[in-house]
A and B are shown apart, each in its own frame.
Chain A
């Protein structure tokens, strides 16, 4: 059974019961799941985790749902890969990639949605829904199908084709809203008030967000039970970087790793960078902006967890990094061509951010650097289509091959 004790307001500390609530009635602060960490510490060990499944549910004790009733399509425990070729190119000795592009619906969102869907069933809800920049839509549609729930996904009208298809294939009702993500999000907040549906990132947010902690746990476990020296994370709402840091801190708190010294760095693209602008300008809260970026999965102009993301970066000794729009596709291509991993635009932002940080001397020799690659490149093919070579057309004979191919690639 979960070790959850209550929901607690992150701002004023007021307690609430474990229900589909996400906002404090008094100060509007976000509600978070509280755990009995002493009980968890007494129960959980490295060995008990190692015996668990190769999914997020190996960390069941630190999650707000029971594995036994989980809506589980295999989210999590994705590979942590050494990136020697990319590292050599960038001058980073000890570079790692957390490849979350290989989740069941091809982004990290499966982690959060598995938790939210499970909790929704626990609450007796029969409809699952979300506002989405694309990745979440796919994850909600997939888990909705697995759970047999009615599924509605709301997306901005200008989304990439791959993301629309990647959600629609699971059979949800897809609603394209005439507006940007911030408009979609506002509409869904109002709908969540009017219907008892599980909007995973609205009224289920307190539980949903917990899923991202597993990105912190896994990296620490996969590095041999220690926190990385640096983590570079893409930022949209700012929730993921906050939760990864929380995950690393929880692991230290229950004694699974010696300490939580990781410097947390958040990356955004120039066309939508309210969180990075705020931290660089010395502000505690981001100023909302209208997104105009190729990195659509990061196009949240009014980031709800920006305040906490800034806090995580500052208190950990990390930083905010912005990359130019042109560097997004460059980052995707660089990762694909050095490490054989095809990521979406958010991953391109991360790789280019790391390149900038390496050039600026952020990483000391020997320090472990982990890049979070959170989504799959097939979702945003438009971003790299102009940059890749077209196939060489030949006839089915040796002469044609020699004439057109060997001339180009060399003997």
Chain B
């Protein structure tokens, strides 16, 4: 169930400068837990005290904002690509 997670610059200190990390998990929540096991501390950056995604973090599954899907409950499968992207100003 390997899913590729693209890591943005602000988080690469935690991933030893890797810009992509492969992890296993059947949902976004499971992916973040697995990421946190291999790279401790990353969950705190992505999620707030209640365990939900921080408001300034955008997470995309194959290009689709997970808030349009099922949020952290969104199912993931082998070959999926997850992008973590900080919010951007207007255009």
Query: Which of B10, B57, B83, B88 touches A188 (beta carbons < 8 Å)?
Result: B88
Query: Which of A24, A202, A285 touches B88 (beta carbons < 8 Å)?
Result: A202
User: Do A29 and B68 touch across chains, with their CB atoms under 8 A apart?
Assistant: no
Chain B residues with CB under 8 Å of A269's CB are: none
User: Do B45 and A28 touch across chains, with their CB atoms under 8 A apart?
Assistant: yes
User: Do B88 and A304 touch across chains, with their CB atoms under 8 A apart?
Assistant: yes
User: Do A30 and B68 touch across chains, with their CB atoms under 8 A apart?
Assistant: no
The interface stretch among B22-30, B31-39, B58-66 is B58-66
Q: Can you name the residue of chain B whose Cβ is closest to the Cβ of A200?
A: B89
User: Do B67 and A28 touch across chains, with their CB atoms under 8 A apart?
Assistant: no
Chain B residues with CB under 8 Å of A23's CB are: 8, 10, 56, 86-87
- Give 1 or 0 for each of A185-223: 1 = CB within 8 Å of chain B CB: 110111001100000011001001100000000000000
Chain B residues with CB under 8 Å of A189's CB are: 8, 85-86, 88
User: Do B86 and A300 touch across chains, with their CB atoms under 8 A apart?
Assistant: no
User: Do A186 and B89 touch across chains, with their CB atoms under 8 A apart?
Assistant: no
Query: In chain A between 229 and 287, which residues have their CB closer than 8 angstroms to a CB of chain B?
Result: 236-240, 285, 287
Smallest CB separation, A112 vs chain B (Å) = 8
Give the CA-CA distance A318 to B87 in the complex, in Å: 25
Whether B2 sits at the interface, judged by CB under 8 Å, is no
Chain A residues with CB under 8 Å of B56's CB are: 11, 23, 27-30, 304
Q: How many interface residues does chain B have, given as a range?
A: 20 to 34
**Given known contacts A22-B86, A186-B60, A189-B85, is B91 in contact with A28 (CB within 8 Å)?**
no
Smallest CB separation, A346 vs chain B (Å) = 11
Smallest CB separation, B17 vs chain A (Å) = 12
Whether B80 sits at the interface, judged by CB under 8 Å, is no
Give the CA-CA distance A279 to B22 in the complex, in Å: 39
Query: In chain A between 287 and 333, which residues have their CB closer than 8 angstroms to a CB of chain B?
Result: 287-288, 290, 300, 302-305, 307
Whether A25 sits at the interface, judged by CB under 8 Å, is yes
Smallest CB separation, B15 vs chain A (Å) = 12
User: Do B90 and A300 touch across chains, with their CB atoms under 8 A apart?
Assistant: yes
For chains A and B in complex, what number of residue pairs have CB atoms within 8 angstroms? 103
Give the CA-CA distance A130 to B45 in the complex, in Å: 26
Q: Can you name the residue of chain B whose Cβ is closest to the Cβ of A236?
A: B90
Smallest CB separation, B63 vs chain A (Å) = 7
User: Do A201 and B90 touch across chains, with their CB atoms under 8 A apart?
Assistant: yes
Give the CA-CA distance A137 to B90 in the complex, in Å: 11
Smallest CB separation, B51 vs chain A (Å) = 15
Chain B residues with CB under 8 Å of A27's CB are: 45, 54, 56
User: Do B90 and A24 touch across chains, with their CB atoms under 8 A apart?
Assistant: no
Q: Can you name the residue of chain A whose Cβ is closest to the Cβ of B41?
A: A26
Chain B residues with CB under 8 Å of A285's CB are: 55
Query: In chain A between 41 and 64, which residues have their CB closer than 8 angstroms to a CB of chain B?
Result: none
Query: Which of A25, A182, A190, A205 touches B89 (beta carbons < 8 Å)?
Result: A205
Smallest CB separation, B32 vs chain A (Å) = 14
**Given known contacts A27-B45, A189-B85, is B63 in contact with A183 (CB within 8 Å)?**
yes
User: Do B45 and A26 touch across chains, with their CB atoms under 8 A apart?
Assistant: yes
Query: Which of A194, A236, A290 touches B91 (beta carbons < 8 Å)?
Result: A236
Counting from the closest, the 6 A-B pairs by CB-CB distance are: A237-B90, A304-B87, A28-B56, A23-B86, A201-B89, A132-B91
Q: 5 new A-B pairs (CB below 8 Å) besides A181-B91, A194-B19?
A: A30-B56, A185-B88, A189-B88, A205-B88, A237-B91
A-B contact pairs, 28 of them (CB 8 A): A11-B56, A23-B10, A25-B11, A28-B10, A28-B86, A28-B87, A29-B56, A131-B88, A136-B90, A137-B91, A182-B65, A183-B63, A185-B88, A186-B63, A189-B85, A190-B6, A193-B8, A201-B90, A205-B88, A209-B89, A237-B89, A240-B90, A288-B65, A288-B67, A300-B90, A300-B91, A302-B58, A304-B87
